[in-house]
Structure formats: C-alpha cells, structure tokens
Structure 1
Amino acid sequence: MKRFLKNSILFLLVFFIVDKGFYYFLIKAPEREYDTRLEEVFEGNLNKDIIILGSSRGSDNILAGQIEKATGQSTYNLSYQGSDVTFHYFMLNTLLKFNQKPKTVILLIDNPYEFDSKKSLNFRIDRLLPLAKYNYFNEELITQKEKNLFSRIFCLGRLNWEQITFNQTKKTSVIPIDSFGSMPLYKKKDTTFLQYAKKEKVYLETNESKVKVAAFKKFQYLCKQDKIQLFYVFSPSFMEFNSGFYTRFLKEVQKKNVMVYDSLNPVYKDPAYFYDESHLLETGAKIYTDEIITFIKNKNQTK
C-alpha cells in the first residue's frame, strides 16, 4: 500500500512538472493570432464612442473608419464572421467589463437568421481558445462546455494540440482587418454567379433558438442599464427582404431604433456591388455605410 501511494505521489509530481512545461505554449498562443481584437478588448484598449457588433455582414458591410470620419466619433468594428447573437452578447459584456462604455452600439441583424436554431451562425469558440491562458476566457470555455474543470488546474487542460508548436509565425487572414476592425471585400468571388432572389422565404418562429432570443434580450438590457444608444441595422442582401422576420423582430424592439437599408436603391439589385448574396463589395459597403451615417445623424439631431 505504501509503495502504491509512493508511486502515485511520484506520478502526480512528474505529471505536474511536465504539465507546467506546457505553459510556454499556452502563453505563446495569442502571439500567433492575426485577429487580436478580442485580446485588445480584454486588455482595455478599445475605448470607443461607437462600437459595431454582428456577423460577417457587420464586418464586411459596415466600414467603421467611414463612420468615424463622418461623425467625428471614434468607431470600431467588433463583428466576427459566422458569429451569432450569443457571441455578440459575450463581446458586449466583455467590452463593458474592461473598457469605458461606448456612447452608441450598432448591432447588425442577420435577416432572417438572427434567432435561427441552425448552426450557420455560432458562438465563436475558436476566438477564445488562443486566449485560454487568461482565466476569464477559460471560464467562458468551461461555460460553453469546450473545456472541463481540470483546465482550472492543468495547462494541458487549456491547450489544443494545434497550439503545441514551436512555430511562432503569425496566422494570416483571407480577408484583412483594417485599422478600424472592419473587413471590406475588394475583389468579387470568382465562383459566384449572382441572380437576385425575388421569392421571400417563409419565416417560422418554431425554428428559433430560445437561447439566442434570451441572449438578444440580455444584450438589450446591458445597453439599457448603461444608457448606451442601441441601433439595429439591416444590411442589404441580393434577395428579397424577409418581411416575415422583420415583423417578428419588431416585437422585441422599438421601431424608432431600427434602420433598414433603402430597398429602392438600384445599387442593391446590381451584382456588381456584391461579393456574394449576403456580402457587399467595398463599393457597396460605402453606400450602405453612408445610409447608417445619415440614420445616426438624424437620430442624434432629434434627441
């Protein structure tokens, strides 16, 4: 029995020492990331007047630098490709914990997928994994069931195999992030033949995720609690606007804070301004961002 205990203690001691040796990979993981926006938020370096949140439609279609130049208010885009409203809530909550609160938040609404239970939009766990050296992000990974409680003790519990490398070359991004956090698309997708979809898809509330609807409500509460001006914006797509989702969406918000793109503008039916059916090229993004600027200015003048 004594021998067993002795061997067990020796094993645990060796494992503990080996585990701590992997701390090197843990602390080096963030240095390999091209997109450092989330770490900047955590470190309190994003004290801006206007913050943009959303999925790829937010990152590609809204040009934060253009808004800053036109309004004179510092602006930054914290939209992430493939992200859903649960991630947007996490981003806003993190921003408010570690930075000065913004005056205005612009939330890009994914019509008709904002509350959809399908997996087309998700919580971007992959953005948190490289930051697992920080307890704050590791705790969120535990909440998201990506990590277990052992990660609170062991370095190996926080690491992914791809992070165990001595290669510290920075990862690259297919779509560059500009100095304002936006990701404008300059070149048309070669493989895409766009044809305007005139038939509106039927929207069914039965397909909604209760978790996403709850996150949306918590997002609104955070803004209300901190007296942040919250605007909801709908981006143009190369298809008929889904009025079914819009009607359902208005049940959750004040209509006066909602901006829908100008559907009568012929630009939004011209494939030359689109990268694909959901994303504008930079030329189209400039036009759409101008609409947002006008909306913000008009709202601020009537306050």
Structure 2
Amino acid sequence: MTTFLKKLGIFLAGLALLASALQLAADRGLAKSALCREWEDLFSSRINADLLIQGSSRAWVQFSPKVLDRALGLNSYNLGVDGHNFLMQYYRFRLYEKYNQKPRYLIQNIDMLTLEKRKDLYALEQFLPYLDRPLVHEAVSHYQGFEPIDFLVPAAKYRHSKTAAIFGLKECLFPTPSTKYKGFEAQDKEWDDAFLRYYASHPGGVRVQVDPATRVLFDVFLSRCAARGIKVILVYAPEYIEAQGFIVNRAEVLAIFREFSRRYRIPLLDYSHSFISYDTRYFYNSQHLNARGVDQFNTLLARDLAPLVR
C-alpha cells in the first residue's frame, strides 16, 4: 500500500509539474498575442497616457489616438474593453492606476449599456494569463465564468477554452503582431442592419436595466478622478438614429449621465444627434462606426476637445 501511494504521489506530482509547465507556456503565449496586447501594455507600465480613453467596443473601435494625438498634441491611449459594461471598465482603470502614471484627462464613453451589468464573463480568454493578479481575480469574480478550482489547480482554467490553450502554445513560439494602434482598431466594414432586425423583433421596444451597484460605482469613479485631479470628459459617440427610438427609457438613462455631469461639473459631449447618426454610410451596425464614420467623428471630437484640454 505504501509503495502504491508513493508511486501515486510521484505520478500526481509529475502530472502537476507538466500541467504547470503547459499553463506557463500557454499564459506566456496569450500574453504575447494580439488578444492581450492592451493588458500587457498596462501591466508593463508602457501606457502612461496624457489622455486615457475608456469604454466598451464603442470606445475601442471609434476613438482614434492617432487623430487625437495629432490634433491635440497629447499622448493618448484607448483602453476600450469589448463587450463589457462599466464594472469591468472600472477595474481596468484601477489596474491602469496601479501600473501607469496618472492621466491628465480621461474620456469616458457612455451609452445605453454603460450602467448595465452582464452576468457572463465575455471573452474570458483575455483574462487567463492574469488570474494570479489580485485585482483581476477580484474583477472576474463578479461574473459567471471562473470557479475556485481555476485559481488553485494548474491548467484547470483552460478547461473553459481549450482553443485558448492551443492558441497560447502556438503564440508562445510564433506570436502574431497586433493590428491595433494604442488599443484602437478601425473597422473597414459596410452597413449591416442586424441590430435593427433585433430591435424590430421587439415591437414594444427594449428597456435598459440600470444596475444600482454599477450606478454607485460610476459615482465612486468620478469622485476618485476628481480627488486625483483627473479631468473626466463624458462622450456619447454617434449612434444610428433609428436604433435610438427602440430604447424606451433612453431619456431616463441619459438623465443619469447629465446629473453626473452637473454634479461633478464635467463636460458631456453628446454626438447621438450629430449628422453622422443619420447616415448608415458611417456605420457597420447601429452602435458602431466604420472607418469612414471614425474619420468624421474624430474630426468633430478633436475640435470640441481642444478648448477642454488646454
């Protein structure tokens, strides 16, 4: 029995060692990949922006650091995180604070989904290399995705995405360069009315579910920025006009942001009724601008930001 247990122990130890080695290689590969480029810039203290841009995919694909840097004479960086509401955006901001110098200005993109709270951990693959970092651990714990075993057992976290494990191992040897520029990537696409078809299937409209805890957190965020001397500028990027009417409590949600703007005496630039919002040539769906729309929007944005960042 003793011999059996000894052999079993050696086998399990060897298995754990192999799993740890594979996890390390996969983690390093993912961290090198385009998937985690912005996280790596953040953790490696390579950002240190004068102007930080935050939001969801509506930040990531719509705010061009290249245009803003050139027009404003600042060093900007786009930290937009695809598919996530403000809760994850806030954790990313806190991680930015920990590893990078304080920005002078912060653009917070706002929209109808900013104050909602999704249940699932969208695109969880991007978090896999960083689960040992306390703030990342805390952030992902707010979502359905990872479980305690994923933080304790070597390589267990990759059971959620075997594809990510294989991709990470490949990227460890043959990394693929990122196509983003300072976190931003324009989408060279034409109009697709999928969003409108979705809304059309809900003839009574769609009601935004503002999450009370996220609303409080947004307040905490603005207070934190004010205390640290970070000038926040709220921006509502263009949104296709016909989609706006499907949100039955749109005015109510906008009123929340206007109240934050008033209370903290911060600008709110609303482009939801700009000329861009009336023309599908500038969008690839009702929520996201294509490359043509990005050029138009950032020209307007740079003009309006100029007197605010002096």
Residue 45 of structure 1 corresponds to which residue in structure 2? 46
The verdict on how the C-alpha distance between 1:2 and 1:143 changes in structure 2, with shifts beyond 3 A counting, is same
Is 1:143 aligned to 2:136, yes or no?
no
Contact 1:65 1:76 in 2 (8 A): no
The verdict on how the C-alpha distance between 1:9 and 1:54 changes in structure 2, with shifts beyond 3 A counting, is same
Contact 1:85 1:216 in 2 (8 A): yes
- Identity score, percent: 19
Residue 15 of structure 2 corresponds to which residue in structure 1? 15
Gaps of 5+ in 2: none
Is 1:287 aligned to 2:289, yes or no?
no
Report the Cα offset of residue 148 of structure 1.
4.2
The verdict on how the C-alpha distance between 1:109 and 1:141 changes in structure 2, with shifts beyond 3 A counting, is closer
User: What SS is found at the alignment partner of 1:155?
Assistant: coil
Residue 157 of structure 1 corresponds to which residue in structure 2? 156
Give the Cα separation in 2 of the matches to 1:268 and 1:152: 45
User: What SS is found at the alignment partner of 1:252?
Assistant: helix
Residue 222 of structure 1 corresponds to which residue in structure 2? 224
AA at the equivalent of 1:128: F
User: CA offsets, 1:17-66, max 9 Å, x none?
Assistant: 33333233333332344450111101100011001111121122222211
More helix by share: 2
Give the Cα separation in 2 of the matches to 1:200 and 1:76: 39
Report the Cα offset of residue 183 of structure 1.
1.7
AA at the equivalent of 2:188: Y
Give the number of equivalent residue pairs: 290
User: CA offsets, 1:70-106, max 9 Å, x none?
Assistant: 1101111111221210111011101110001111110
User: What SS is found at the alignment partner of 1:67?
Assistant: helix
Once structures 1 and 2 are overlaid, which stretch shifts more, 32-41 or 9-18? 9-18
User: CA offsets, 1:134-177, max 9 Å, x none?
Assistant: 5357634663464444555542234342244353355688xx42
RMSD: 3.4
User: Which of 275, 287, 306 lines up with 1:278 in the alignment?
Assistant: 287
**TM score, norm. by length of structure 1:** 0.80
**TM score, norm. by length of structure 2:** 0.78
Contact 2:233 2:269 in 1 (8 A): yes
User: Which of 148, 166, 170 lines up with 1:167 in the alignment?
Assistant: 170
Report the Cα offset of residue 243 of structure 1.
2.5
Give the Cα separation in 2 of the matches to 1:133 and 1:266: 44
- In the TM superposition, 1:166-205 aligns within 5 A as 166-168=169-171, 169-170=174-175, 176-177=179-180, 179-189=181-191
Contact 1:115 1:213 in 2 (8 A): yes
Contact 1:86 1:215 in 2 (8 A): yes
Report the Cα offset of residue 184 of structure 1.
1.5
User: Which of 233, 252, 255 lines up with 1:247 in the alignment?
Assistant: 255
